[in-house]
Structure 1
Amino acid sequence: MTDFATRMTQAALDLNTQKLLLSVADNSCGTLVALSGKKLGDAGMAYVAEALQKNKVIDWLDLTNNAITSDGVKALADTLTAHETLCTLTLTDNDIDDEGARTLATVVGSNPNINTLSLHENEKITPVGIKAIQDAVADRPDFTLAIETGSP
């Protein structure tokens, strides 16, 4: 068992999630990785980041409904900033707030390959967080920010 696999086991990630993350790490998962509803939380984002560092083909990452907060976004930020093939990042229905939105603004502002960011149903993101992202990509007409929140 690899060190990566051992650490995922110790972190109590379920077996199917471990297998999926291992396939991401060894580039055998294809270009779309759907980790929706896997209950990864912030702790799981460190494993997603590590798998992405090894993956040079993924272009779409779906992390919908994983109880990710701004701490989880921070765990992914360096990897996402440097990833050369990721085009679409879906973080719908998580627990991201304006701090996480500002982190994502830095990511999408630094990585021109990411051209779609979905943040639907992150109720803690206010217009301040949305504006941070919009400002970061103001010179990128091809960028799509998909967001609807319950915030005023």
Structure 2
Amino acid sequence: MKLKVVIGIACVAVVLFAGILGRNVAFALQWPLFEALRTTASIIFAVVGAWFAIIYPERLKKSFRGGATDNNGPGIHRLFTPIVHSTAILATVLIVGVVAPLLKQFDWILSHKDIFRGISYGLLVFLTLWQLATVLFSLIGPDMIKRHVSRQDRAEEAAKAVMPSRKDDSSQ
């Protein structure tokens, strides 16, 4: 729990520091980074969505048919989390892309553009850190598969160790 608090405090400090220093970074220089973030969020959304469809195909069918649902355990929620987070990040970047040009039309905004550049850059850093965490969460899918296969392999090895092979049975 202490590690989460330290990471949280460090992230807040980084975002605030980025907001302060980002006042000197023009939005035109920031926008390619927003676009890269949008692309990354889209990729994570697609990849994790594909894993979701591969790992839980029956669950998806039942969800869309409206049939009875069964509990697939906590794994389904852990795999779904990056999809939700990437969707929120993607939506935020899309909104920034629409709102920023509109805000540039107001004289008051232009007269305080350094403050808004800082806010924008702080938002960019916040979204980037959030996306970084989401990328790490997206590794849960392959890890779940690896652990499941590993458990199956260990179970098969244990069964082979206990059960005599067919060759031994035929010789008796």
TM-score normalised according to structure 2 size: 0.21
Q: Which has the higher strand share?
A: 1
Q: Which has the higher helix share?
A: 2
Larger radius of gyration: 2
